Amino acid sequence: MGGNDEATPSVSNPGIARPTSPEGILVQSPVDDIVSHTKKDAVAPTDTLSALFKELDLTEDAGPFLDRGLRVVQETYTIIEDVKDSKIESVCEDFARKAMLIFQNLALAAKSSGRPILPGTAVAVLVERVISRLKTFQADLQAYARLSEVWKLLHIREVKRKLEARKQELESTIDKLTAH
């Protein structure tokens, strides 16, 4: 994709740049910028992504499914913050980042096709699968958070493997989306 070298600063979040093509189409996902920017400012990444959805006029096309999905990602980030365990932090953040990317890409696709994400559509079913994966990941993370420090030390490898497996399930969902 041939995009320009300039990035258009976000109106609602001036510190976040959105690379666009000469036609004004978003070329690269701002999700990574959002995550790093918001971590520094202690702002929830999904709040910033929600603002970006509104700015790009994606909220109508995204519909209630993606709104619900973003809320679930927000809950996941809250749990990650509560756990504060450097041994699993990168796996958790990568998982949540991938989920946000899926939601952003689906919203952009819905907007460009002129077909909003409605109940009963294939995209709505996919969003539900991603939300289901997020909720399973959350449950695993919450179970880990409830362990005593001793149990956490004893079971960290097992927990990390389990969280990695959940991340693979999410990636599998993404692969199925791109295969169709």
Whether 143 is covered by a domain: the verdict is yes
Which range is most confident: 28-37, 78-87, 139-148, 170-179? 139-148
Enter the tokens of residue 102.
């899926």
What count of other Cβ atoms lies within 10 Å of the Cβ of residue 128? 14
Task: Please write the tens of the pLDDT for every residue from 63-110.
Answer: 677 777 777 877 877 777 777 777 777 777 787 778 777 777 777 787
7 in any annotated domain: no
pTM: 0.60
Residue 129 lies in a domain: yes
Q: Does some domain include residue 163?
A: yes
> Could you give the number of structural domains in the chain?
1
Tell me, yes or no, whether 20 lies in a domain. no
The angle formed by the CA atoms of residues 57, 61 and 62, to the nearest 5 degrees, is 100
Q: Which domain holds residue 140?
A: 57-179
Mean pLDDT across the chain? 68
